[in-house]
């Protein structure tokens, strides 16, 4: 199965506890009183230790961009307040619940740092408590190290903007090539910063940069490569800050078996045994039709699914094309008047293809097949209305149904051949957690930072919210 889908390593993963529906009629159990742990009294030595630990911690973990704006801490009570505020921020996120956008469907679990802090004070293990606060993920650690590198680059002046002009490739020379060499050398120690010739070694350096930025690795410097290289170092710092914050929205433990979609990179990855075993290209929402971040669980697969066209798409894109177009493409109008809607019937022209993977969510999005395969050959695959189209849905369906004797590959193919819509419920043990995430910065195994575009502008928005919330809490803690 893994080889049928394709192997990759994955930059990130996420989870949120699914909602639980309570029975309609049931006696209400008595509510246990909430145990309030009083703030501990710390010694002078512990206050000094905490103040030292807090000095640059928020800066090192991307809770603020400006390294000169260190928090002012006066007195033991202020140290305790600052420590608890930092603990909440670095453990479960800097944002307040009111800061979340509607399509940021991941939410950190509630976290009260007081009990663990009080225990650390009592046992005089404050440093160990402090170290335990950040997310326990290698992905987060890689971003923190990358943050330090790009902060240093920013402090040293960043890099100059490369001027626009003709595409640059092997054989080119002149001032623009010299500027390109100097720019690449900032992030790539293998590049010789001097010289104005575009030779084979410079092409290799361009290919490495294009791979780091998720671009087509042609070795030719054209508009897209220039655009990625010209993102200011300060913006890369903020991009890392935003991705570190998203890691803080995740719980400490994730299911070993899960499916993950990186929305920004348009890639789906399958995990088993807490390791990536397979991946495929995806098509995710275009800007304006963003695919939301969320966590849910795939519970069923629909074979030969019809497409119930959302009202907005029907009104803007389909009804104006007329009855002949709708009939030609197997659309059926259901109802009359203001309540009429459009359903595309199952078949080779169906926008959902042969497979639809369903999971509960408030956004009405899902994973699905598509008859339009051309987009999978592109490096820019943000082109859907918000749902996630899959390059290889058949192998994924076989993987999810492999333990069901009634739905082996032969039975699946037989059902598809009949052309009738059929919902296949996954067995309870095969229902798999699915995560739609937005990862735009991550570190490779060798520590090299990789970046993707910020198509929805969520990185800039989130980084600004982190800074604003940090400023508010800094004032409140005094």
**Paired tokens of 164:** 């626009």
User: Which of the residues are catalytic?
Assistant: 368, 387
Establish how many alpha carbons lie within 13 A of residue 419's alpha carbon, considering only the half-sphere containing its beta carbon.
6
Burial class (CB in 10 A: 0-12, 13-18, 19+), 323: exposed
Q: What's the alpha-carbon Rg for the chain, to the nearest Å?
A: 26
DSSP category for residue 308: E
Burial of 460 (0-12, 13-18, 19+ CB in 10 A): middle
Looking up tokens 């991705």, which residue turns up? 243
Closest alpha carbon to 194 in 179, 172, 173 = 179
Spatial CB neighbours of 329, under 8 Å, sequence gap ≥ 6: 344, 349
Closest CA to 87 of 40, 126, 42: 126
Burial of 352 (0-12, 13-18, 19+ CB in 10 A): buried
Give residues with Cβ within 8 angstroms of 14, minimum separation 6. Answer: 106, 246, 249, 250, 254, 260, 293, 295, 435, 437
Gap between the Cα atoms of 35 and 32, Å rounded: 9
Q: Structure tokens of 336?
A: 């009359």
For residue 278, give the 3-state DSSP assignment: strand
In sequence order, the 6+-apart residues with CB closer than 8 A to the CB of 299 are 358, 359, 360, 425, 426, 431
Decide if 279 contacts 6 (C-beta within 8 A): yes
Q: Are 147 and 63 in contact (CB under 8 A)?
A: no
């Amino acid at each position: 199965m893994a080889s049928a889908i394709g192997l990759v390593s994955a930059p990130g993963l996420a989870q949120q506890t699914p909602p639980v529906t309570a029975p309609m009629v049931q006696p209400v159990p008595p509510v246990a009183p909430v145990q309030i742990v009083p703030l501990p009294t710390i010694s002078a030595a512990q206050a000094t230790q905490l103040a030292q630990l807090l000095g640059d911690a928020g800066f090192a973990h991307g809770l603020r961009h400006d390294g000169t704006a260190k928090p002012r801490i006066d007195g033991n009570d202020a140290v305790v307040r600052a420590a608890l505020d930092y603990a909440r921020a670095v453990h479960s996120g800097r944002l307040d619940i009111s800061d979340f956008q509607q399509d940021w469907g991941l939410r950190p679990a509630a976290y009260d740092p007081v009990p663990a802090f009080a225990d650390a004070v009592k046992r005089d293990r404050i440093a160990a408590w402090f170290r335990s606060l950040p997310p326990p993920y290698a992905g987060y650690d890689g971003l923190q190290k990358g943050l330090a590198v790009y902060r240093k680059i920013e402090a040293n002046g960043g890099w100059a903007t490369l001027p626009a002009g003709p595409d640059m490739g092997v054989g080119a020379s002149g001032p623009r090539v010299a500027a390109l060499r100097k720019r690449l050398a900032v992030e790539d120690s293998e590049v010789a910063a001097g010289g104005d010739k575009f030779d084979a070694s410079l092409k290799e350096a361009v290919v490495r940069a294009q791979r780091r930025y998720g671009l087509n690795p042609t070795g030719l410097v054209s508009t897209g490569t220039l655009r990625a290289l010209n993102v200011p170092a300060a913006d890369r710092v903020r991009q890392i800050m935003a991705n570190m914050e998203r890691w803080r929205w995740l719980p400490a433990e994730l299911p070993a078996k899960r499916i993950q979609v990186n929305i920004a990179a348009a890639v789906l990855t399958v995990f088993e045994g807490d390791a990536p075993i397979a991946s495929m290209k995806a098509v995710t929402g275009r800007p304006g039709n963003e695919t939301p971040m969320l966590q849910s669980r795939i519970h069923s697969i629909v074979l030969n699914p019809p497409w119930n066209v959302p009202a907005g798409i029907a009104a803007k894109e389909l009804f104006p094309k007329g009855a002949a177009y709708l009939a030609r493409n197997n659309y059926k109008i259901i109802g009359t008047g203001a309540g009429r809607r459009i359903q595309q019937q199952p078949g080779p022209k169906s926008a959902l293809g042969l497979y639809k993977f369903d999971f509960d969510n408030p956004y009405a999005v899902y994973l699905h097949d598509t008859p339009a395969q051309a987009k999978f050959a592109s490096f820019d695959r943000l082109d859907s209305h918000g749902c996630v189209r899959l390059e290889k849905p058949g192998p994924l369906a076989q993987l999810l149904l492999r333990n069901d004797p009634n739905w082996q590959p032969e039975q699946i193919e037989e059902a598809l051949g009949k052309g009738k819509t059929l919902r296949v419920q996954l067995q309870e043990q095969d229902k798999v957690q699915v995560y739609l995430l937005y990862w735009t910065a991550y570190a490779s195994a060798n520590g090299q930072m990789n970046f993707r575009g910020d198509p929805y502008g969520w990185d800039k928005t989130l980084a600004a919210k982190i800074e604003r919330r940090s400023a508010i809490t800094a004032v409140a803690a005094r």
